[in-house]
Structure 1
Amino acid sequence: MFDKPKKEAEKPAAPKAAATTPSSKPAPAGNSGQTTTIGASVKLNGELNGDEDLLIQGQVEGNIYLKEHNLTIGEQGTIKANAFARTITVRGTLTGDLNGVEKVTITSTGKVRGNIVSPKVILEEGATFKGSIDMDAKAAKPASQPAASAKSA
């Protein structure tokens, strides 16, 4: 009779060991930093610079510079800005030029009116796009130089 409770006490120890294994898995997913969110009720006017990934659900007017990070325009996002980022994903509405160092994606819910410069462009079925596309791999890099000149002026 006394041996059974000891075995039951040992069984909960095994799930605790299993719980440590999943906690080690999320660490590699966040190795490059955090994602900042601009909420649906936020309106921002001006220049936006950052050193982390950005999700915009609100309204932004101006210019967005995330040179080595990812920009996502959420389904509720309404942007009137030129954007420069490593990757750009548009799920909402954007009016302005997009410069993606690696890739620009317009999802089925995305609406873009402007020009795209990126070596890889994805337009999903249902996406709305009016503008031009330049897929020259070198073209996205010089776009950062005029942006830097505009900042210093």
Structure 2
Amino acid sequence: MFGEKAESSFRDGRATGAQTLIEQDASFEGKLTFSGTVEIKGEFKGEVFSEGTLIIGEGAKVSAQIEVNKVVIRGHVEGHIDAKSLIEIHPPAVVRGEICSPGLVISEGAFFEGQCSMGKQGQEAPVLELKSAGEEGINF
């Protein structure tokens, strides 16, 4: 478990082959840094920093400042989440706080309460110009 690296593959928002950090009956408080994919199934309070993927499993309770590449949430999370690529919130997740990411998926049945930002101040979101079908077909 410790020191092992596992490849992760996602299927319907669930990960297989993830490194497990905190099991359901365990709790941890502090600062967590890692590479690859880590799953929290128990309780965590503190800070999480990674260029990898964080999975917060069903039944997990997390109160943290989270800065990762990608986060997949099925548990309870309170705090600030900043993901460089994607935040996924799937049922029965409950997320309260601030989230910031260029990509966001909130599945039906999941709960989010708080503030959401899709980019950093000063960055402009890409603009897609649509033309009507009467204007030389549909061009994107």
| TM > 0.5 fold call | yes
Normalized per residue, the structure richer in helix is 1
Question: 1:114 and 1:59 mapped to 2: Cα distance?
Answer: 17
Distance 1:73 1:125 in 2: 18
Alignment partner, residue 60 of structure 2: 77
* 1:87 and 2:73 aligned: no
Shift of 1:94: 0.3
Q: Are 2:65 and 2:79, in contact at CA under 8 Å, matched by a contact in 1?
A: yes
Deviation at residue 30 of structure 1 after TM alignment:
3.1
- State the match for 2:105 in structure 1: 122
Question: Over alpha carbons, which structure has the higher Rg?
Answer: 1
Alpha-carbon distance in structure 2 between the residues aligned to 1:127 and 1:90: 9
Determine whether 1:35 maps to 2:12: no
| Aligned position for 2:46 | 62
1:105 match: 88
Sequence identity (%): 29
CA deviations 1:5-47 (Å, max 9, x no partner) are: xxxxxxxxxxxxxxxxxxxxxxxx939xx73212111110011
Gaps spanning 5+ residues in structure 2: where?
A: 1-5, 9-16, 122-140
Question: Residue 119 of structure 1 aligns to a residue in which SS?
Answer: coil
Q: Deviations over 1:31-64 (max 9, x none)?
A: 9xx7321211111001111122110001000011
Using the TM superposition, give the Cα deviation of residue 88 of structure 1 relative to its aligned residue in structure 2, in angstroms.
0.5
The corresponding residue for 1:8 is none
Q: Which amino acid aligns with 1:47?
A: K
How much is the aligned-residue C-alpha RMSD, in angstroms? Answer: 2.0
How far apart, in 2, do the equivalents of 1:96 and 1:65 lie? 14
SS of equivalent to 1:97: strand
- Return structure 1 stretches of 4+ with deviation > 2 angstroms: none
